[in-house]
Amino acid sequence: MDVFDKCIKWDFVKKLRLNDAYPYFKPIQEKMGTRAIVDHRHMIMIGSNDYLGLSGDSRIVQASFETLQRYGASSCGSRFLNGTTTLHIELEEQLAQFMNREKAIVFSTGYQTNLGVISSILGRNDVAIIDRQVHASIIDALRLASCKILRFKHNDMEDLEKKLKTVPKDTAKLIIVDGVFSMEGDIANLRDIITIKRQYGARLLVDDAHGIGILGKYGRGTGEYFNVESEIDLITGTFSKSFGSLGGFVAGDLDIVDYIQHQGRSMIFSASMTPASVGASLKALEIIRNEPERRHQLNENTKYFISGLRALGFNTGNSETPIVPIHIGDTMRTFVFWKRLMHSGIYTNPIISPAVQEGNELLRTSLMSTHTKEELNTALRLFEEIGLDLGIISGQKKKIVAK
């Protein structure tokens, strides 16, 4: 028996490549806001998490360039030793102020944030109660923590309470949910989760990677959206979505975050967030604070696109956010739909198991505040044309997009 046998025998990807249906690791040759060039084709990008359109904003690019000139390309060390710059501290202070928290610290990526936070605060005798659809980084962090894990049905408060009833009262408990769920775009039922949390003496961590910057009056995310910010014990987030940069952070009470900073292995044993990413994130935070019109336009684009898809007969689930799923329910049909859209100049993301459960395969689209009505109408027309041809929609619904 050879440890590499499973690699050699694994033929799923080989078959996709043979059928010119391999959808992953597609090299983007150029990206210009809502447009991209892939395989030498000009595309409308509706598969990016750049919700506020900041990754290519000239102010963000300039901030990155100025930081590069001042600090170089890398700190070449971990935050714990030689990798902390004055800009890291400034970003953390600005984040804590923005999030109305006592302290915030930044990690090199959002993935590493969840890894470091969760594995440092949970131990073998603790229990994590998680929504079944939380991000993979949370699952990996819990494996590292070696704690007991209880999973409740997605956004099902009755099942959450059922799971909590099985945990002894004197056991330390942490409920973990995404604020906005990354595949289907629906929002965690935070008000009810908090009511249950109080009743059972649990703590609450919200991974708001896809909520911060787009939800709430000031863009502070899901907690602000539901007016329950003070009831959330820890918030994790990322700079690779609305901020248009790279990195992650956790915000919460001083003692808790200070402990994480000195115990989180992905903080201590990883090189720090690059200076250019820190500079870009600082400038993005300034823009998020001062330009609420970006959130307003994003909300308008989201409503327009979802209503257009639903009017054509597509199933977009319960999404209320710029993450808009098109449910297909079959792996090969999902890949075929994705391929037809790519050849027509529309960039989307095909999502299959294990990212979603088998039978829930979908195309994941995501909107930007900088999308124009013309771009959205073009995408809707192509979705209609290909959806009809593949039998995914019937053509009986009202057509709202002019030819």
Q: Token digits for 342?
A: 């790519």
C-alpha distance from residue 82 to each of 233, 262, 272 (Å): 30, 14, 9
Where exactly are the structural domains of the chain? 5-51+292-389, 58-290
- A 10 A CB-CB count for 332 gives 13
- Residue 182 designated active-site: yes
Of 210, 283, 327, 371, catalytic:
210
- Name the catalytic one among 64, 75, 182, 240: 182
Those residues of the chain that have pLDDT short of 50 are 398-403
Dig out the tokens for 83 from the structure: 């990798």
Buried b / exposed e over 281-299, threshold 16 CB at 10 Å, is: bbbbbebbeeeeebbebbb
**Is residue 210 flagged as an active site residue?**
yes
Among the four given CATH numbers 3.40.50.2300, 3.40.50.970, 3.40.50.10540, 3.90.1150.10, the one describing domain 5-51+292-389 = 3.90.1150.10
DSSP 243-268: TSS--EEEEE-HHHHHHHHHH-HHHH
pLDDT of 30 reads 94
Sign of the torsion angle spanned by Cα atoms 125, 126, 129, 135: negative
Active-site option among 241, 283, 327, 371: 241
CATH of domain 58-290: 3.40.640.10
Count CA atoms closer than 13 A to 394's CA, side-chain side.
Answer: 4
Name residue 342's amino acid.
M
DSSP state of 3: T
Among residues 36, 29, 48, which one has the least CA distance to residue 349? Answer: 48
